[in-house]
């Protein structure tokens, strides 16, 4: 292979990969010097002149002329007088000899190795560029095309043909994908895995919902409304706390839109995930009331030391506060950053005494108690406040097991 062919083929390959000219020349020179060191042991007395555009390449080896009997004749940058005079008969000791080194002189094997090294270096650089391109885009919304559907992930491609992964764990449970269709997600993680950049997308992240709000609600994009916090159960329900910086703008109304026109497209994107838009407030009691909507609360008591809130409701409001599968109270707890305990308020008399479910672990197996906690029922009275039919439907427990639990809990208050 001639030098022109090597440089030209590499230059074309690098241009396809969008490698800029200075970087391309630096890679070429680095590989050529590696080739020189393999052949001559050192490269400090070699000059490389190359033009990546035209394919011109020159390599010059400079050596100092020494006496034939000198001890330095074995140095890589020295040449005996006799050998130097074969090049030019009038050379003298102390002068420098500059010889052009042709790439063909290195032998076919070294040149082929150099070519493969060049290609590998460009591929490594391409991986680094891809990593750097996306690491600053974590949390940004992207539209990608579904390329391949696997059991544990969806492989997608962006507009430049880069592959991104949407794992099963980051998909909304109701998501259905077809090859060739487009979908939206946020850049969730960018990491190096076995030397290759791994770009992970997410549709379950609260950030994804926040970006959709920014895209659909102009007031958020303009900075008039701020999204303070988002909690989600992907595909089921989400609570979004918003705040307005302009007293003339109702943040909840602006986000929902006339007859839900603005939020409808977001709900559709999230596979009909129910979205509660709540106005943010620093008043904790008011914020809890809004977070537990549509339930109407009779009274609230805050235990700041233990980060717990005791909420008292009429019996017919308890199931509304807890929500289907315990989702409402679970998300409300996450939104306010406190554990919420629900109590019944009967005829204005608050039933304050209650017992944490885990205190029954000596009579009821722990895994059964955890089933109730999964749906937001943490105390004995919250369980007793829900009908047996609802408990059977919401938990994965047998009816007989629920009967036994209810009997034990009822005896506690007799």
Per-residue pLDDT tens over the stretch 83-131: 888 888 888 888 888 888 887 777 778 777 877 887 788 778 878 888 8
pLDDT of residue 40: 83
Instruction: Single out the residue of 168, 164, 254, 272 nearest to residue 218, CA to CA.
Output: 254
> Is pLDDT of 308 > 60?
yes
**Band of pLDDT at residue 359, cut at 50, 70 and 90:** confident
Under CATH, what is the fold of the domain 3-133?
Answer: N Utilization Substance Protein A; Chain:P; domain 4 (3.30.1480)
Chain centre to alpha carbon of residue 276: 25
What architecture is domain 138-204?
Beta Barrel (2.40)
- The DSSP call for residue 360 is G
Domain boundaries, the chain: 3-133, 138-204, 211-280
What CA–CA distance (Å, rounded) separates 307 from 341? 11
CATH 3.60.15.10 is the classification of domain 211-280:
no
> Is pLDDT of 1 > 60?
no
pTM over 0.85: no
3-class DSSP state of 44: coil
């Amino acid at each position: 292979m001639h030098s022109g062919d090597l440089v030209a083929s590499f230059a074309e390959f690098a241009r396809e990969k969008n490698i800029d000219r200075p970087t391309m020349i630096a890679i070429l020179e680095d590989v050529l010097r590696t080739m020189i060191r393999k052949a001559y042991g050192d490269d400090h007395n070699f000059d490389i002149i190359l033009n990546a555009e035209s394919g011109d390449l020159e390599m010059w080896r400079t050596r100092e002329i020494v006496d034939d009997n000198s001890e330095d004749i074995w140095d890589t940058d020295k040449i005996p007088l006799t050998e130097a005079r074969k090049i030019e008969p009038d050379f003298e000791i102390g002068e420098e000899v500059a010889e052009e080194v042709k790439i063909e002189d290195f032998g076919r094997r070294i040149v082929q190795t150099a070519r493969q090294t060049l290609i590998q270096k460009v591929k490594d650089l391409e991986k680094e560029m891809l990593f750097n391109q996306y690491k600053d885009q974590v949390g940004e919304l992207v539209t990608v095309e579904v390329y391949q559907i696997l059991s544990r992930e969806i492989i997608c491609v962006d507009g430049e043909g880069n592959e991104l992964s949407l794992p099963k764990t980051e998909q909304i449970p109701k998501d259905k994908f077809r090859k060739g269709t487009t979908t939206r997600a946020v850049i969730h993680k960018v990491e190096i895995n076995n030397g290759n950049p791994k770009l992970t997308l997410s549709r379950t992240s609260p950030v994804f919902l926040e970006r959709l709000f920014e895209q659909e609600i102009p007031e958020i994009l303009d900075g008039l409304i701020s999204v303070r916090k988002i909690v989600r159960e992907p595909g089921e329900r989400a609570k979004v706390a918003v705040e307005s910086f302009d007293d003339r703008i109702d943040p909840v109304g602006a986000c929902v839109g006339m007859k839900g026109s603005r939020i409808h497209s977001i709900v559709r994107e999230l596979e009909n995930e129910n979205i509660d838009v709540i106005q943010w407030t620093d008043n904790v009691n008011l914020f809890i009331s809004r977070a537990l909507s549509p339930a109407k609360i009779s009274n609230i008591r805050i235990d700041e030391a233990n980060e717990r809130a005791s909420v008292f409701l009429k019996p017919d409001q308890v199931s509304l506060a807890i929500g289907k599968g315990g989702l409402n109270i679970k998300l409300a707890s996450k939104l306010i950053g406190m554990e919420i305990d629900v109590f019944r308020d009967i005829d204005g008399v608050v039933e304050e005494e209650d017992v944490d479910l885990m205190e029954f672990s000596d009579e009821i197996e722990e895994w059964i108690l955890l089933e109730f906690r999964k749906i937001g029922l943490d105390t004995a009275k919250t369980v007793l406040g829900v009908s047996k039919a609802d408990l059977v439907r919401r938990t994965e427990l047998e009816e007989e097991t629920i009967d036994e639990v209810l009997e034990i809990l009822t005896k506690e208050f007799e």
